[in-house]
Structure 1
Amino acid sequence: MSPRAGLDRRTLVIAAAEIADHEGIEAVTLAALANKLGVRSPSLYNHINGLQELRTQLAIYGLGELSNAMNNAAKDFSGDDAVQAMGRAYVDFARSRPGLYETTLRAPEQANTELETASDHILKLIIHVMKDYQLGDEGEIHAVRGLRSILHGFASLEQKGGFGLALDTNVSLSRLISTYIAGIGNMKSK
């Protein structure tokens, strides 16, 4: 049996991302994907080796999309403005692609170089922006962890309806990032 014309791994991943964004990551099953694509589930095995590989490919795709969004937002800026732009892009990505965003949160599987590379792109992007703060190698890693924690926490709380007061969450995000930037000096290697 030959693979259906026009059906390839990328098509599967994009369709799975749409399911994840609209119904949640747990709704991404091989049966749901096959149904969305109008094929039988066994046909998917011509392109992937099962649900675990599909979810890994989703994570790689999601990390690439997040990296592109952050890079495009920050590319014309440096220092504080770059951190603000990256932070807004991160949260906007989580808002617009909630299921795909969820796939980006898992730690890279050891020995999966494709997933490690995708994760490293984001790490290197943030470290590049952090160079302006002269934190040193160790301080940059701490800064990346701190920024990621702040942005993920904000995005997660917002997704779960945790900000019920009638205040603009974008203003809150900007102020939070500004507070983080003000504290970056404390991260310098001693």
Structure 2
Amino acid sequence: MARAGLTTERLVRAGAELADEIGFDQVTASELARRFDVKVASLYSHVKSSGDLRTRIALLALEELADRAAEALAGRAGKDALAAFANAYRDYAREHPGRYAAAQLRLDPSTAAASAGARHAQMTRAILRGYDLAGPDETHAVRLLGSVFSGYIGLESAGGFSHSAPASQETWTWIVDHLDSMLRSLSAP
């Protein structure tokens, strides 16, 4: 019998909060059980394992991030859309570092296909439609944007830019400006 008050959703949300506090890599069913002052076995009627918990946190993070990005993109196009999308990711990572790390979790193909991950790709492609990229250039650009944003956010969150000038925000703006210029230069004739 499941312990009163424990639900899958409540456990996943608590796991996401825990990830933001202690880091996604440190989230386990044991650690979560300690937070609820229950035995680990009490969680297993809601989540199958620590791996299942981590996957569910990743799915939550992907959904939250997709919702935030979609809201930021509403009514925008071109460079404004690119900057809003980039800033939505960066802001989410700053506010929810553990959840952002969870969103990077490698999912099995069927779970990934059913996740909000597909929405992220669709939004990126929607932004790129404003640049009128042809053929494989669009796929290359999707991968480029994901790599640049993820890489920069990862380095920034690790403190990689805190020791030198100019300020990280200045570089971020420079990157978005130059990505826009590059994408415009690739536009189909």
- TM-score by length of structure 1 reads 0.91
Does the residue aligned with 1:150 lie in a helix, a strand or coil?
A: helix
Q: Distance in 2 between matches of 1:116 and 1:170?
A: 34
* CA deviation map 1:132-153 (0-9, x unaligned): 1111353222111111111111
Give the % identical residues: 31
Q: Distance in 1 between matches of 2:119 and 2:6?
A: 28
Match of 2:145 in 1: 147
Match of 1:19 in 2: 18
Q: Distance in 2 between matches of 1:69 and 1:112?
A: 21
CA-CA distance at 1:166 after TM superposition: 4.5
Match of 1:75 in 2: 74
- TM-score by length of structure 2 reads 0.91
CA-CA distance at 1:51 after TM superposition: 1.0
* Alignment counterpart, residue 132 of structure 1, candidates 130, 133, 140: 130
Say if 1:20 and 1:100, in contact at 8 Å, map to a contact too.
yes
How many aligned positions are there?
Answer: 188
Say if 2:61 and 2:99, in contact at 8 Å, map to a contact too.
yes
CA-CA distance at 1:122 after TM superposition: 0.6
The within-5 A match list for 1:60-139 is 60-112=59-111, 116-139=114-137
The letter of the residue matching 1:154 is Y
Q: Distance in 2 between matches of 1:52 and 1:120?
A: 22
Say if 2:20 and 2:97, in contact at 8 Å, map to a contact too.
yes
Q: Distance in 2 between matches of 1:112 and 1:87?
A: 25
Measured on the aligned residues, the alpha-carbon RMSD in Å equals 1.9
Structure 1 gaps, min length 5: none
Structure 2 gaps, min length 5: none
